[in-house]
Amino acid sequence: MKNICVVGTGYVGLVSGAGLADFGNNVICVDIVKEKIEMLNNGGMPIYEPGLKELVDSNVKAGRLKFSTDIDESISKSEVIFSAVGTPPGEGGEADLRAVWAVAKRFAKNLNSYKVFVNKSTVPVGTGKKTYKLIEKEKKNDIDFDVVSNPEFLREGSAVKDFLIPDRIVVGTTSEKSVEIMKNVYKSLYIRNNPFVLTNVESSELVKYASNAFLATKITFINEVANLCDAVGADVHVIANAMGMDGRISSKFLHPGPGYGGSCFPKDTMAYTKIFKEQGIRSEIVESVIKVNEKQKELVVEKLKMFIPDLKGKIIAILGLSFKSNTDDTRESPSKVVIKKLQNEGATVKVFDPIAMKDFKIDFPDLNYQENIYDTIEGADGLILMTEWNQFRNLDIEKIRNLMKTPIFIDTRNIYDPSEIRGYGFKFANSGRSKI
């Protein structure tokens, strides 16, 4: 058991803090946003993530998890400090590390005994060394410390499971003392023989970027296959299933759609290519992935225009605003690109999402937001299904047909069978099965 401070109560920090507390550690999560801490102390949740509220509530009740805005006191009382602050993309695509440097300075200020600075945020290669030098410069004593890289591999929508039952725990450090401390932090996993990858800081920092860049490439590849299937009359589901049977490929992330989005893949692929450029080389594969992914989002409207060449004055219903199901995160959501393009074409857009509308309103305050599925669809000239929420998987198709002005349906997530939907009189398109 360790006394741990987690700086940042965003997606990574809150899940990590609650998970670390569940492993038996004493954890205090701190944030400079007072409203978030007040909400957490009052039993609220600043983000939507299945299972997170229950995990937080149980560990608060057990006395292992607390929340505070006092970063100095929280660091001074802790032995292990996790930095879980945001690293958004800068103007050139590189990660903005200002929040990381701010945490490092507060760490140095409150270094009253040996402590471990753990970077949980996704950061470029070399950040660990820079963090160490910054703390050395800022600290006012000779007390020892270590800097560790411990990247997160959390999927939004299943983050709690990913933290509590991880595929691997990566720890980057050259200090045996910090290795033993990290093993103690994750003791409940370590004693169950969960895979621990012990390496240097640079390798650990690069693991996260390389993993996300590869997964983004896999998604983009199957999207290109789906586009080819639409052109030649093949079935992308059959192709993806057959590919996934090959153990060298596996079936994961071979699901065509409107392009990837969210807080990780867009940001991390851009930062990944930036790291290459800083070394005087290019990542031509991932540079292409980024370009193709943006085109994939725009292709959704092009499919609609096959049925409605002139969208001016037309009413288009959008189901799903989050970049994927089981999250309220709309960062880099394909729906944003699709809606902007529809508006530029002169269409009126009606939208519904069961969770993400509040977040979406930050960027689109004046959209026609609806309270349920069928009010959204009523009177529409076309319907686009953008997110694979469970409640969108069993729509009353006959009711939709009667509510719509024109029966046109674009299913970007391949939830529905083309022949079934066409049997109700719809003009229908999806991703890689449109001619089946």
399 with 375: CB under 8 angstroms? no
Concatenating the DSSP letter of every residue in 103-128 gives HHHHHHHT--S-EEEEE-S---TTHH
| Rounded Cα distance, 66 and 258, in Å | 40
Q: What beta strand segments (E) does 320-373 contain?
A: 348-352, 368-369
Q: What's the one-letter identity of residue 251?
A: S
Q: Both tokens of residue 337?
A: 């690109």
pTM: predicted TM-score of the whole model, two decimal places? 0.92
Q: What pLDDT sits at residue 373?
A: 97
Q: What is the pLDDT of residue 93?
A: 79
Catalytic residue among 5, 29, 229, 264: 264
Please return the burial class of 10, using the count of CB atoms within 10 Å of its CB with bins 0-12, 13-18 and 19+.
middle
Is 105 within 8 Å of 138 (Cβ atoms)?
A: yes
Q: Residue 326 carries which DSSP code?
A: T
How far apart CA 221 and CA 248 sit, in angstroms, is 15
List, for the chain, all residue ranges whose pLDDT scores fall below the cut of 70: none
Q: CB neighbours of 405 closer than 8 A, spacing ≥ 6?
A: 315, 379, 380, 381
What does the alpha-carbon distance between residue 436 and residue 431 come to, in Å, rounded to a whole number?
Answer: 11
What phi and psi, each to the nearest 5 degrees, are found at residue 195?
Answer: -60, 120
CA separation for the pair 176, 158 (Å, rounded): 32
SS (H, E, C) 182-235: HHHHCHHHHCCCCCEEEECHHHHHHHHHHHHHHHHHHHHHHHHHHHHHHHHCCC
* Counts of helices then strands in the chain (DSSP H, E): 18, 14
pLDDT of residue 341: 97
Q: Which domains does the chain have, with CATH numbers?
A: 3-199 (3.40.50.720), 213-429 (3.40.50.720)
24: region left, alpha or beta (phi > 0 left; psi from -120 to 50 alpha): left
Q: Which two tokens stand for residue 360?
A: 């979406």
- Burial class of 277 by CB neighbour count within 10 A (0 to 12, 13 to 18, 19+): middle
CA angle (103, 106, 110) in 5-degree steps: 140
Say how far apart CA 38 and CA 34 lie, in whole Å: 6
Please identify which residue in the block is written with the tokens 């700086």: 7
> Residue length, the chain?
436
Q: Phi and psi for 350 in degrees, rounded to 5?
A: -110, 135
Q: Whose CA is closest to 410, among 394, 422, 424, 428?
A: 428
DSSP character string of 265-284: HHHHHHHHHHHHHHTT---H
**How big is the CA angle at 200 (ends 196 and 206), to the nearest 5 degrees?**
85
Q: Cα separation of 379 and 235, whole Å?
A: 32
Q: How far apart are CA 421 and CA 431, in angstroms?
A: 14
What pLDDT shows up at residue 192?
84
Measured CA to CA, the distance from residue 259 to residue 336 in angstroms comes to 12
Helix (H) or strand (E) holding 30: strand 26-30
264 carries an active-site annotation? yes
The H or E element spanning position 314 is: none
**Residue 396 pLDDT:** 96
The pLDDT value recorded for residue 94 is: 83
